[in-house]
A and B are shown apart, each in its own frame.
Chain A
Amino acid sequence: MIDEKRGLGGKVVRFAVFLKCRGFKIFQSSVHDTLRCLEEISLEKKEDFFVSLRSNLATTDLEWIQFRDLFDQFWNRVNEAKNPDKDELEPERERRKEDLNEEFLPDDHVDLSTAANNSDKKEWLEGVAYSPVSMVEKKDIGRFHRGDIQVAQLALKKMMEPFKIDISRRSKRGRKSGDIDFPRVIRKSLKTGGIPFELFYRQKKKRLKRLAILADVSGSMDRYARFVMPFLLGLRGVGSRAEVFVFSTSLTPITFMVRHLNVEKALKRIAMEVPDWSGGTRIGYSLHQFNRGHGERLLNRRTVVVLLSDGWDLGGKDLLRREMAFLSRKAYSVIWLNPLAGDPDYEPLCRGMKSALPYIDYFLPADSLQSLKRVGRLLSRIMIH
C-alpha cells in the first residue's frame, strides 16, 4: 500500500506540473495539501479522487472549467506511461498562425498559455511576426517635435485630473479637519490623566488612480503619428502608476521604455521591439491579450483605461465585444479617444467601433495635442457632476 501511494504521489506531482504548463497557478503548498487530502479519502472512487485534486489545484472558475478535460487527458495518458509535458508547444504555434481568420475565437487553453509565455519574449515575437497584414517597412516613429512631449504632458495631466484622486474609505491621520480620531485622542490623553487636551483628526485617504493606456499604432493611425508618440511619451510625467501598451495586430507593453529611458533611447527601443508598427489592426485580439495577460494585475476598480484608436478593426467583432464587456466590467472607467470623432459628421459606423461603443464610458475626440487639451477640460466638466 505504501509503495503504491508513493507511486501515486509522484504522479500527482507530475500532474501538478502538467497543469502548471497549461497556465494553472500551482503552489507548492497546494500540492502538499493534495497529498494530505489523498490520505483522507479512499482511492477506490475515481470521482472523490478527482474532486480532491480539483479543490486543491484549481483556484479560478476558468481553471475549474478546464479541469475535467485536463484530468482525463493526464490520467488516461499516465496509464500509457508517456511524458506529459513535452508536446504542447507545437499545436499552440499552429493556432496562432490561424488566428487571423475572421471568426477566430481563441479558446481558453491557448489564452492561458499565451499569458504564461508572455515573459518569454522570443517565442512571443515569433508568433507575432507572422502576419500577412503587417507591413515590412517600419515608419520613422521619431518624426515629431520634441517640444510636443511637454505639451502632451500638460494636456495629459489636465485630462487625468478628474480621475487622479480616488477617495478610499480607509482613513489616515489628518490635520485639523475630518472626523475626530478617538483612539488617538484617548491614547494621547493618558499622559494628562485622561483629560483630552489635544484633538486629533482622521481624513479619508486619497490615492492615485491607476492608468492603463492602450494605443493603436496600426497603419490607419499613421496620420496621427505626430500626436500619438508625444502622447505616449508624455506619460512619463503622469504619476507613477501609468502602464502603456501599443497594439496593431497584437499587444506590446512599452511601459519600461516610456518610463525609464530617455526619449531617444526609448524611441529606438520601441521601434525595435514593436514588430508590426503600422500593421493591420486587431483590436479584439489585442484587448484579449491585455485582459488575459495583464488584466489580473492591472484591472481593478482603481483603473482608468484609455484606448486610443480609430476603431478600424480587422478581427472578429464578437471577440471585440466580449473583451470590451470584460474591460468595462473590471475597470473603473473606460475612455476611448478616437481621432475621427472630432468630425461633426462622424458616426461610429465601422463595425469595430459600433460593437465597442456600449462599453465605453467616455467617447471623446482626440487627433492632436490641442484637442487633447479640450478633452481634458471636457472630462473635468463631466466628472464634477
Chain B
Amino acid sequence: MSSHFKSIDQVVDELADSSYIADRALATVLFLAHRLEKPIFLEGEPGVGKTEVGIVMSRLFDTELIRLQCYEGLDSSTALYEWNYPKQLLHIRLEEQGKREREKIEEIIYSPEFLIKRPLLEAILRSEEKAPVLLIDEIDRSDEEFEAFLLEVLSDFQITIPEIGTIKAKKKPIVVVTSNRTRDVHDALKRRCLYHWIEYPSFEKEYKIIMVRLPGIESRFAKQVTRFMQKARSVDFLKKPGISETLDWTMALMTMQRDYLDENVVIETLGCIFKYQEDIKRFKEEIWADQETRGEYLTD
C-alpha cells in the first residue's frame, strides 16, 4: 500500500480497500491533512466512526497507531512522560554500597531507561523512520489545562525533558483528534486543525458499511436492518443509534442465526440499539405499540 496520497480519488479507493466506507468530503479532508501536515479534528454524534478514522489511517499508511484516550484530570505525566520513581529509588539503594560517584548515579537514573514513555512522547520517538498515527480520542473529556498543553506539543512536535534534553520528531505524526462535543474545545486548538463533522450515514452508505464489515450477510437482510435504523434515527431519541449500534445489532442478530427481522426479535434485542431506558420505553410505547408503524419499520 502506498504511504503517500497523490490524489483525492486515490484516498477514496484506498479507504474502500481498507473497508472504511467514506464519502468524498472526508477523503478530501484526509488528503489535505496529509499534504499540509495538519491535524484532523473530527466531531459527530457518538458511534459514527470517528475513532475508526484514526485506526484506518494507521492501516493505510501501514504504520503504528498510538492512542491517547482523554479523561478529566489527564495531565502531562500521564500523557507525555514520567520518571519511573520506584525504579530510581531501588537503583539508588543498590548503588549505596557501590563506589560509584554521585554524579554518575544521577546520570544513570536519569537515562531514558528510567523513563516511562506515555503516548505523546511515544509518538515523537517512533517517528524516526515512519510517522505514526496519533489518535487523541474524546478531547472534550480532558480539561482546559491539558488542551493548552496539547497545543504546544501539536504545534512543533517537540518535547523538552530537562534531564535529557529536547526531543524533536523527525517526521510529523498524523494526528486525529476526536470530540463528542460535551464542551466546546478552545479555538486555538481548532484553528490548528482541519475540521470535519461526520454525519449519520445515508441509506446507501450504511448498507455498504454493513456489507463490507459483516461479510456473509444476506443483502436483503442488510437492507432491512439499514431501513430500520434509518427510520429509528428520524425519531428524536435521547441517544440516536449510530453506525456502531447498527453493526453491533446486526452481529447480534447473525449470532442468533437470524436472517430476517420480525416483531419479536426486535423487542428481544432492543438493548443493542438503544442505550437509555427512556428511549427503550419510548420506542416500545410510541412506535412499537402501533401495528402500522411497526410494519413500516419492518418492510424489506
Give the B-binding residues of A (Cβ under 8 A). 25, 27, 29-30, 33, 36-37, 40-41, 47-48, 51-52, 54-56, 58-61, 64, 168-170, 182-183, 186, 189-190, 193-196, 296, 300-301, 330
* Leading 3 A-B pairs by shortest Cβ distance: A169-B73, A194-B92, A51-B28
* Nearest chain A CB to B41 CB, angstrom units: 8
Q: How far is the CA of A33 from the CA of B95 in the complex (A)?
A: 55
Known: A55-B32, A194-B96, A194-B105. A61 touches B191 (CB 8 A): no
Q: Are B183 and A301 in contact (CB under 8 A)?
A: yes
Q: Are A64 and B191 in contact (CB under 8 A)?
A: no
Q: How far is the CA of A105 from the CA of B288 in the complex (A)?
A: 32
Q: Are A40 and B191 in contact (CB under 8 A)?
A: no
One of B29, B145, B187, B192 near A51 (C-beta < 8 A)? B29
Q: Are A61 and B181 in contact (CB under 8 A)?
A: yes
Q: With an 8 A cutoff between CB atoms, is B203 at the interface?
A: no
Q: Are B190 and A40 in contact (CB under 8 A)?
A: no
One of B28, B105, B106, B183 near A48 (C-beta < 8 A)? B28
Of all chain A residues, which has the CB nearest B82? A183
Q: Are B43 and A61 in contact (CB under 8 A)?
A: yes
- Give every chain B residue within 8 A of A41 (Cβ-Cβ): 8, 28, 31-32
Q: How far is the CA of A58 from the CA of B88 in the complex (A)?
A: 48
- Give every chain A residue within 8 A of B183 (Cβ-Cβ): 300-301, 330
Q: What 6 additional pairs, Cβ within 8 angstroms, besides A55-B196, A60-B184, A194-B92?
A: A29-B191, A40-B31, A48-B8, A169-B143, A193-B96, A193-B102
* Nearest chain B CB to A358 CB, angstrom units: 12
* Nearest chain A CB to B106 CB, angstrom units: 7
Q: Are A170 and B38 in contact (CB under 8 A)?
A: no
Q: Are B28 and A52 in contact (CB under 8 A)?
A: yes
Of all chain A residues, which has the CB nearest B77? A183
Q: How far is the CA of A182 from the CA of B187 in the complex (A)?
A: 35
Q: How far is the CA of A300 from the CA of B75 in the complex (A)?
A: 19
Of all chain A residues, which has the CB nearest B41? A59
Known: A47-B24, A60-B184, A194-B96. A186 touches B32 (CB 8 A): no
Which of B28, B35, B192, B194 neighbours the largest number of chain A CB atoms within 10 Å of its CB?
Answer: B28
Known: A58-B195, A59-B195, A296-B184. A52 touches B32 (CB 8 A): yes
Known: A37-B36, A51-B25. A27 touches B85 (CB 8 A): no
Q: Are A55 and B194 in contact (CB under 8 A)?
A: yes
- Give every chain B residue within 8 A of A60 (Cβ-Cβ): 184
* Nearest chain A CB to B171 CB, angstrom units: 18
Q: How far is the CA of A190 from the CA of B184 in the complex (A)?
A: 43
Q: How many B residues face the partner with a CB closer than 8 A?
A: 40
**9 residue pairs A–B, Cβ–Cβ below 8 Å:** A30-B191, A47-B24, A59-B41, A59-B190, A168-B73, A170-B145, A193-B96, A194-B105, A300-B183
Q: How far is the CA of A55 from the CA of B33 in the complex (A)?
A: 10
Q: How far is the CA of A40 from the CA of B145 in the complex (A)?
A: 35
* Nearest chain A CB to B85 CB, angstrom units: 4
Q: With an 8 A cutoff between CB atoms, is B218 at the interface?
A: no
* Nearest chain B CB to A105 CB, angstrom units: 16
Q: With an 8 A cutoff between CB atoms, is B276 at the interface?
A: no
- Give every chain B residue within 8 A of A300 (Cβ-Cβ): 183
Q: With an 8 A cutoff between CB atoms, is B99 at the interface?
A: no
Contact with A along B145-187 (1 / 0, CB 8 A): 1000000000000000000000000000000000001011001
Give the A-binding residues of B (Cβ under 8 A). 8, 24-25, 28-29, 31-32, 35-36, 38, 41, 43, 72-73, 75, 83, 85-86, 88-89, 92-93, 95-96, 102, 105-106, 143, 145, 181, 183-184, 187, 190-192, 194-197
One of B36, B75, B181 near A170 (C-beta < 8 A)? B75
- Give every chain A residue within 8 A of B38 (Cβ-Cβ): 33
Q: How far is the CA of A61 from the CA of B197 in the complex (A)?
A: 7
Q: Are B28 and A36 in contact (CB under 8 A)?
A: no
Q: How far is the CA of A30 from the CA of B143 in the complex (A)?
A: 24
* Nearest chain A CB to B213 CB, angstrom units: 25
Q: How far is the CA of A189 from the CA of B91 in the complex (A)?
A: 13
* Nearest chain A CB to B93 CB, angstrom units: 7
Of all chain B residues, which has the CB nearest A37? B32
Of all chain A residues, which has the CB nearest B144? A300
One of A27, A55, A193 near B191 (C-beta < 8 A)? A27
- Give every chain B residue within 8 A of A301 (Cβ-Cβ): 183
* Nearest chain B CB to A25 CB, angstrom units: 6
- Give every chain A residue within 8 A of B72 (Cβ-Cβ): 169
- Give every chain A residue within 8 A of B32 (Cβ-Cβ): 37, 40-41, 52, 55
Q: How far is the CA of A330 from the CA of B36 in the complex (A)?
A: 34
- Give every chain A residue within 8 A of B102 (Cβ-Cβ): 193
Q: How far is the CA of A30 from the CA of B194 in the complex (A)?
A: 9
Q: How far is the CA of A60 from the CA of B195 in the complex (A)?
A: 8
Of all chain B residues, which has the CB nearest A59? B190
Q: Are B28 and A55 in contact (CB under 8 A)?
A: yes
- Give every chain B residue within 8 A of A61 (Cβ-Cβ): 43, 181, 197
Of all chain A residues, which has the CB nearest B145? A170
One of B36, B143, B197 near A33 (C-beta < 8 A)? B36
Q: Are B85 and A186 in contact (CB under 8 A)?
A: yes
* Nearest chain B CB to A304 CB, angstrom units: 16
Q: How far is the CA of A21 from the CA of B101 in the complex (A)?
A: 67
* Nearest chain A CB to B191 CB, angstrom units: 5
Q: Are B31 and A59 in contact (CB under 8 A)?
A: no
Q: How far is the CA of A41 from the CA of B7 in the complex (A)?
A: 8
- Give every chain B residue within 8 A of A25 (Cβ-Cβ): 187
Q: Are A55 and B195 in contact (CB under 8 A)?
A: yes
* Nearest chain A CB to B271 CB, angstrom units: 24
Q: How far is the CA of A36 from the CA of B190 in the complex (A)?
A: 17
Known: A40-B36, A55-B195. A183 touches B143 (CB 8 A): no
Q: How far is the CA of A168 from the CA of B43 in the complex (A)?
A: 26
* Nearest chain B CB to A19 CB, angstrom units: 13
Of all chain A residues, which has the CB nearest B27? A51
Of all chain A residues, which has the CB nearest B35? A40
Of all chain A residues, which has the CB nearest B88? A186
Known: A64-B195, A170-B143. A51 touches B24 (CB 8 A): yes
- Give every chain B residue within 8 A of A183 (Cβ-Cβ): 83, 85
- Give every chain A residue within 8 A of B191 (Cβ-Cβ): 27, 29-30, 59
Q: How far is the CA of A27 from the CA of B187 in the complex (A)?
A: 9
